[in-house]
Chain A
Amino acid sequence: MTKQTPALLIAFGSGILFSIGLIVSQMVNPAKVLNFLDVAGTWDPTLAFVMGGAVAVTLPLFAWVLKRPHPLFAKQFYVPTRKDVDGRLIGGSIIFGIGWGIAGLCPGPAITAAATGLLPVLGFLAAMAAGALLQNWLFTRLGK
């Protein structure tokens, strides 16, 4: 047991709970996601309830947690501080939306769905890693 152990156990437990939420809600299912996005076709509004349920918890409880002097098992909170809306936020979100709209998979569900061992899901994850590395390489060269 090192000083880091409780925080690691929390991160591990949070990952498990998060994945169960993705499975129960079927956010992990590309068919479900694409039917949510397909408002002109076989529309299934379920995912609005997933997002609604999640935000109904985080909205009040994040405010409560962030009023604590520090987290239970860490010295400080690591919360984004930026407030500006810039081209990268918009451009990145558009590009992400295109990928999400094609396959119906975003990063969390893709990682949990990897447990199925389905090769196209593993291929998606490898491509996702490549895309993230490409972005990092390109924008490090451009000067961040």
Chain B
Amino acid sequence: MTEFTPISGLIGGILIGVASVLMLWGTGRITGISGIFGGLLTPARGDVSWRAAFIAGLVLGGLLWPLITGTSLPVDLQVSWPWMLVAGLLVGFGTRLGGGCTSGHGVCGIGRRSMRSVVAVVTFMISAVVTTYVVRHLLGA
């Protein structure tokens, strides 16, 4: 069980939206995190530093949060090691093949009114809901 927290959800969502607008307005780039991360794995000349700067910020926020607020990051893992590895592999492969994840297709793609992104979001939402059902209720993991 987790508690329904619409207010902090909304505030966090707005911060994510503002971060994405700041990125697009300042640098002309989309905050599609699977794409930013993927571009660092196959680096192209002159296309590395902005990616590294964004990813560094993404990690630094996670490091600073406990220091500033005195509360640890709310990361409550739900599945065992082998499942984590399988999931990571699928997320890496799938997001690169589908050209985006929750941030790129979700926050940014819908923000740009892209039909491709709307189709992608509906597809991965259905896929994730079905998967969670299978894992939790049929396999009992």
Give A contacts to B, CB under 8 Å.
4, 6-32, 34-35, 37-42, 44-59, 61-62, 65-66, 68, 70-80, 82-85, 88-108, 110-116, 118, 120-121, 123-136, 139
Q: How far is the CA of A19 from the CA of B53 in the complex (A)?
A: 13
Q: How far is the CA of A10 from the CA of B55 in the complex (A)?
A: 12
Q: How far is the CA of A103 from the CA of B78 in the complex (A)?
A: 7
Q: How far is the CA of A68 from the CA of B123 in the complex (A)?
A: 32
Dominant SS among interface residues on chain A: helix
Q: Are A94 and B124 in contact (CB under 8 A)?
A: yes
4 further A-B contacts with Cβ under 8 Å, apart from A68-B25, A107-B101, A111-B58, are: A11-B23, A34-B136, A55-B106, A74-B28
Interface residues on B, range: 35 or more
Query: How many whole Å from A129's CB to the nearest CB in chain B?
Result: 6
Q: How far is the CA of A129 from the CA of B24 in the complex (A)?
A: 25
Q: Are B33 and A111 in contact (CB under 8 A)?
A: yes
Dominant SS among interface residues on chain B: helix
How many A-B contacts are there with CB distance less than 8 Å?
505
Q: Are B74 and A26 in contact (CB under 8 A)?
A: yes
Q: Are B92 and A127 in contact (CB under 8 A)?
A: yes
Q: Are A14 and B31 in contact (CB under 8 A)?
A: yes
- Among B49, B86, B88, point to the contact of A126 (Cβ < 8 A): B88
* B6, B93, B103 interface centre (most CB from chain A within 10 Å): B93
- Chain B positions 82-141 with a Cβ under 8 Å from a chain A Cβ: 83-99, 101-103, 105-116, 119-121, 123-133, 135-137
Q: Are A101 and B59 in contact (CB under 8 A)?
A: no
Of chain A, the residue at the smallest CB distance from B103 is A108
Q: Are A78 and B59 in contact (CB under 8 A)?
A: no
Hey, which chain B residues are within 8 Å of A88, CB to CB? 97-99
Q: How far is the CA of A133 from the CA of B96 in the complex (A)?
A: 9
- Among B14, B72, B123, point to the contact of A97 (Cβ < 8 A): B123
Query: How many whole Å from A62's CB to the nearest CB in chain B?
Result: 4
Q: Are B14 and A57 in contact (CB under 8 A)?
A: yes
Q: How far is the CA of A4 from the CA of B14 in the complex (A)?
A: 28
Q: Are B9 and A53 in contact (CB under 8 A)?
A: yes
Q: How far is the CA of A84 from the CA of B114 in the complex (A)?
A: 10
Hey, which chain A residues are within 8 Å of B70, CB to CB? none
